[in-house]
Amino acid sequence: MCRDGGRRTGASVRRLIRAPVRLCLCALVAGCGGGKTPLVIYSPHGRDLLTLFEQRFETEHPTVDVRWLDMGSQEALDRVRSERANPQADVWFGGPASLFATAARESLLAPLGGDSAFWLSVYRTPAVIAYNRDVVPDSAAPRDWEDVLAPRWRDRVLIRDPIASGTMRAIWGMIFERSLAATGDTGQAAAWLRRLDGQTREYVLNPALLTEKLVRQEGWITLWDLPDLQITIRRGRHLGYVFPSSGTPVIDDAIAVVRGARRDSLARVFVAWVRSRKMQLVAAREVYRLPARTDLPADSLPAWVREVEGKMKAEPMDWLRLDRQGAAWMGYWDQHIRGTGKGRS
């Protein structure tokens, strides 16, 4: 990321996302760097993790200028797809493996260590039900997905816009898969999501705005991922969360090198660095990420990791089916369910 001496600030780079793609990325790649080698990263992981990793990687690799764009994981896939003929990103860092599988099927990712591996697992990211503790006592918080549909939460629910968000697509995917398992079709899921739409005050454009609106009591509860909420709580925000009692999707959060990346070799160095034992522990200790690696000594992990592993019940997800059918499910929700739930019980 560009920081000084004529280099752009992190905020100014992120504002570039709103500009036309060609202008944005030309400015990002060519606008600064002082002769250092740029490494361009698309990621939904947010300021805290990305700034931390930018600073650490640049310290260890002084000739590199890490430049990240913070966006939803579906947005990252859409951008990598639109840039197929002229890739601008070197690394796609973060998002459900189901989206990476789609990208691999479309030949958007470079093979890693063989012809069959196109992405690697980095973190495990569970979804939770979160609430503002100033207006929702811990004892009154929803305990499961169905509880969110109770009348008391009508017009009190905030939802991250699912079209752009891999986390929300995982939750929606769970609802569709449960419907298929129970009835053989998706009608039950459509009815449930329409009821949730009736509860929803707003579909929020990005994670930072989602948590800020929850803090401001513009909504009282939301569905979101654990790491973002824990970081917000660490900042002193009076939020709480619960793991849904019936089970929650635990996203296999991945990383990949973009096919045709301008800095392919450097991108591979970054991927290996992110997945190293050292950086898995850094992420767990400083930005609340559950490591994907299973070879980390238990006594080296922070206490919250052991607590989460003991409390959460992982939903058995068919991620391959979500990869195949997720886009169609989301399209149906967007066209036929969004905005139709008001006035329904």
Provide the residue ranges of all domains of the chain, joining segments of one domain with +: 10-123+252-295, 125-250+311-337
For residue 194, the model assigns a pLDDT of: 98
Q: Are 315 and 149 in contact (CB under 8 A)?
A: no
Please provide the DSSP assignment of 10-47 as one string. Answer: HHHHHHGGGS-HHHHHHHHHHS--TTPEEEEEEESSHH
**Rounded CA separation 200/222 (Å):** 9
Amino acid at 38: P
Q: Are 145 and 127 in contact (CB under 8 A)?
A: no
Q: Are 292 and 253 in contact (CB under 8 A)?
A: yes
pTM for this model (two decimals): 0.87
Q: Are 108 and 258 in contact (CB under 8 A)?
A: yes
H or E stretch including 91? strand 91-96
Amino acid at 274: V
Q: Which of 167, 133, 109 is nearest to 322 (CA)?
A: 167
DSSP for residue 135 = T
**Rounded CA separation 337/199 (Å):** 13
- Per CATH, 10-123+252-295 and 125-250+311-337 having the same topology is answered yes
Torsion 56-58-61-67 (CA) sign: positive
**Rounded CA separation 125/227 (Å):** 7
According to DSSP, the residues that pair with 221 across neighbouring strands are 131, 157
For residue 342, the model assigns a pLDDT of: 86
Half-sphere exposure for 8 (CA within 13 Å, toward CB): 21
Walk along the chain (345 residues) and give the pLDDT tens digit of each residue: 333 333 333 333 333 333 334 334 444 444 455 699 999 999 999 999 999 999 999 999 999 999 999 999 999 999 999 999 999 999 999 999 999 999 999 999 999 977 679 999 999 999 999 999 999 999 999 999 999 999 999 999 999 999 999 999 999 999 999 999 999 999 999 999 999 999 999 999 999 999 999 999 999 999 999 999 999 999 999 999 999 999 999 999 999 999 999 999 999 999 999 999 999 999 999 999 999 999 999 999 999 999 999 999 999 999 999 999 999 999 999 999 999 998 654
DSSP for residue 334 = I
| Sole residue written with tokens 């629910």 | 157
Q: How many C-beta atoms surround the C-beta of residue 188 within 10 A?
A: 17
Residues 6+ apart with CB under 8 A from 128: 223, 224, 225, 226, 229, 241, 242, 243, 244, 248
**Rounded CA separation 24/231 (Å):** 29
Q: Are 133 and 229 in contact (CB under 8 A)?
A: no
| Sole residue written with tokens 């009692």 | 245
CATH superfamily of the 10-123+252-295 domain = Periplasmic binding protein-like II (3.40.190.10)
Q: Which of 97, 77, 90 is nearest to 254 (CA)?
A: 97
**Rounded CA separation 206/330 (Å):** 18
Measured CA distances, 264 to 75, 109, 194 (Å)? 22, 11, 44
Q: Are 203 and 162 in contact (CB under 8 A)?
A: yes
CATH superfamily of the 125-250+311-337 domain = Periplasmic binding protein-like II (3.40.190.10)
Q: Are 174 and 250 in contact (CB under 8 A)?
A: no
